[in-house]
Amino acid sequence: MENNMAFTIPAWVPEGAQRYLAHTETGQSIRDIARSAGCHASTILRQIRRIEMRRDDPLVDAALQSLAEMHFSDQSTASGRDPIVTQDDAAAAKDEEFDREALRILRRLCETGSVLAVAEEMDKAVVVRDSGDGGATRTAVVDCKIAQALALKDWISCDNPGRISRYRISASGRTVLSQLVAEAENKARARNEFGMAEAQTPFQTQMARGPVGGSNPDRPRRIRYSAAESPLIALARRRDRDGKPFLDEELVGAGERLREDFELAQIGPQVAQNWDHFLTAGGRGSFDSKAHGGCGSSDARDRVARALSDLGPGLSDVALRCCCYLEGLELAEKRMGWSARSGKIVLRIALQRLKRHYETQAERNRLIG
């Protein structure tokens, strides 16, 4: 068969979905696809059946419809042509962006009680976490196109589709999350080794290593909390000398509110907002919110800027790193030049100040209203 391909499919599309689209959209026979792939026809048949069975999932069905419309629109010349997976520079850049978004969302879904809620005919989906008292906290906002890709890759799964479908991270999603976390850490380490400027990213984390029983120093040390978990959630589980949580629900709620506005501020043409001027490390201590340009969600961006400005140098730094960038406390302490185990105290002070800021804002809005 000639390799003159008429249709292209993004590289992130799973192999099974590629072959399913080749069969359903271009009319290729299962034997032709198997011959091109160098495998038995029964293998292709099983892949196609599996994808067809998954079309009851709203996100999977929407992803396949979108791919069909975008890459198989010219049906007049479809017969007998194979789809080709593209991996040019533009596609590679999109794949890297997708990996960043996947890491952000999967990390949030790893938190206890978290689900991805998708409503019909909405452009955005949200990650919400059960607060334990019958309420829920929104922790992330994601474009439905990204959610569709996560579902098609089987990194998230839905038990009960409906008007509002709820997705949870799957076993394969947890495996991929570990790989993405390791890749992000390796990239950050490479930048530091080559003397490049620190690039603030919400996806950096620390992979704890150490001897297990003194046997193998290179073996990953088991840690109590997932590396993908928010530092606030981990600290909220700790107890002080009186047996009370180190961070109560109100302090965690204040940090999550800052994180929620931070997520909303990323929506828009300028996806990656630059908040470096709120980091005091390296002499960057400017708190002029007007200096922060961009075309994101302006209201959310202004709320984040006001909150960080109210915290001031130091406190705003640890709040931005731990609440928004989800940096671990050890990494934040190292970058801030603080002594070990001092970060959690400063973070609690920052959250107390942040809680007071939101209470003051609420009272001011009440008086104005």
pLDDT in tens, 283-310: 334 444 444 444 445 788 889 999 999 9
The residues near 143 (Cβ < 8 Å, ≥ 6 apart) are 101, 123, 124, 125
**3-state class (DSSP) for residue 107:** helix
- The domain limits of the chain are 7-79, 90-173, 230-368
Question: Is 1.10.357 the CATH number for 90-173?
Answer: no
- B/e letters for 80-119, b = 16+ CB within 10 Å, e = fewer, are ebbbeeeeeeeeeeeeeebbbbbbbbbbbbbbeebbbbbe
Task: Give the pLDDT confidence of 16-74 residue by residue, as tens digits.
Answer: 998 898 888 888 899 998 998 899 989 999 999 999 999 889 999 999 998 888 877 65
Regions of the chain with pLDDT less than 50:
1-6, 75-80, 89, 194-215, 217-228, 268-272, 281-296
pLDDT at 352: 94
- B/e letters for 270-306, b = 16+ CB within 10 Å, e = fewer, are eeebebbbbbbbeeeeebeeeebebebbeebbebbbe
Dihedral pair phi/psi, residue 141, rounded to 5°? -120, 135
Task: Give the pLDDT confidence of 257-273 residue by residue, as tens digits.
Answer: 898 888 777 654 444 45
pLDDT at 286: 42
- pTM confidence score: 0.54
